Amino acid sequence: MKTLAASQLSILAVFLCLSLSAAPVSWVFASEPDSNRQQELQYLLKQDCGSCHGLLLKGGLGPPLRAQDLKDKTPAYLKQIISKGIPGSAMPPWENLLSDSDIDYLVQLLSTQSSPSTQ
C-alpha cells in the first residue's frame, strides 16, 4: 500500500514537471503580455482610457496621461490607481478586467509614450 502511494506520487510529480515545462514561460512567470495582448492593451489605452482621458491622452474628463504629465508619479502609484480606481471619482478600477502583468504593461506604456500609438 505504501509503495503504491509512493509510486503514484512520483508519477504525479513527473506529470507536474512535464506540464510545467510545456507551459509557455509567460504562464509560469507573470512577465510581459505576449505581442497580441500588447496590441489589445494599446487599443484599450486609446479607446477605453482615451474615452475619458482623451484619445491622445491629453486630458478630458480625466487628467492628461502623457509621459510628461506623469513624470512625477511612481509606477507603484500608477499601478495602484489603475487597479483600484479613484473612489468617489469617475476613474474606475480595472483589476477585475486586467491581469497584473496587463496593468504593469499599461504603466510601462504610460511612462514611456507621449501618446499611444496612432495605428
Q: From CA 53, how far away is CA 78, in angstroms rounded?
A: 14
Q: Kindly determine how many residues on this chain lie close enough to bind ligand HEC according to the rule CB under 6 A.
A: 20
1 part of the interface to ligand HEC, by CB under 6 A: no
**Which cell is 95 given?**
483589476
Q: Is-contact 115 66, C-beta < 8 A?
A: yes
**Site stretch for ligand HEC (CB under 6 A), options 1-9, 10-18, 22-30, 87-95:** 87-95
* Coil/strand/helix, residue 87: coil
Chain center to CA of 38 = 9
With H, G, I as helix, E, B as strand and everything else as coil, classify residue 117.
coil
Residue 62 as a binder of ligand HEC (CB under 6 A): the answer is yes
Residue 13 or 86 with smaller CB distance to ligand HEC: 86
Q: Does 94 bind ligand HEC (CB under 6 A)?
A: yes
Which part of the chain contacts ligand HEC (CB under 6 A), choosing from 3-11, 14-22, 30-38, 80-88? 80-88
Residue 52 interacts with ligand HEC (CB under 6 A): yes or no = yes
> Between the CA of residue 30 and those of 68, 80, 110, what are the distances in Å?
28, 18, 20
Give the residue with the Cβ less far from ligand HEC, 24 or 87: 87
